[in-house]
Amino acid sequence: MSRLEGKIAVITGGSSGIGLATARRFVDEGAHVFITGRRQAELDRAVGLIGRNVTAVQGDVSRLDDLDRLYATVAETKGRIDILMANSGVVEHRRIGEVSEEHFDRTFGINARGLLFTVQKALPLIRDGGSIILVGSIAAVKGMPAHGTYSATKAAVRSFARTWTLELKDRGIRVNTLSPGPIDTPIIDSQVATREAADKLRSDFAAIIPLGRMGRAEELASAALFLASDESSFVAGIDLAVDGGMAQV
């Protein structure tokens, strides 16, 4: 039997990378998935790739009206949420002397504020016993040059999981953090100006990961499936690192 048969899932940032791979895996396991993203063209492409049992709602998690519209669509069409994966995020490389108000507000607005309200506004629809997966990063526990603002947002995500595990325990809602290490997704290319620079970045990451390579989005999807399914029924409040050992040794 499929592990998510009949479940309703919401995945923010579901149009590419980890979010898209997870949406495809959840659908393969029997779920109907709602995905969000800021760019309609990418959402349309994702819907075509997933092929069935998917609803796309364009929106930006830093805009509360967009979140309200997302959950109104879920309420009208399915009436509940069994799994929420708060995955939307942004990373911009800035060293301390380069941090601007715009950079700080954008990074915290999406990665921390947006994630908080993604969860808060979903709570009336999340069934008792549901699963919330917060996508963090091993950057929350490692010092990484030019990642100061990003790392701080991911440390906030880890803190949210601890607090919400206790606040939602009476409803049996499990809150866990899924923390990727370097994953080979389009975000790697977006961080540099040329293909050669992207190839070097991938090579540099592989050299410091004990398993000798970057991760794949599908490997994060497998971990998300574990946290979403009843196979993790006694797992709450954890930070599950999927990082090839990078932050573990």
Residues known to be catalytic:
150
Q: Are the C-beta atoms of residues 131 and 227 closer than 8 Å to each other?
A: yes
Max distance between CA atoms of the chain, in angstroms, equals 54
One DSSP character per residue, 20-70 reads HHHHHHHHHTT-EEEEEES-HHHHHHHHHHH-SSEEEEE--TT-HHHHHHH
Task: Copy the structure tokens of residue 129.
Answer: 């016993």
| DSSP letter (8 states) at residue 161 | H
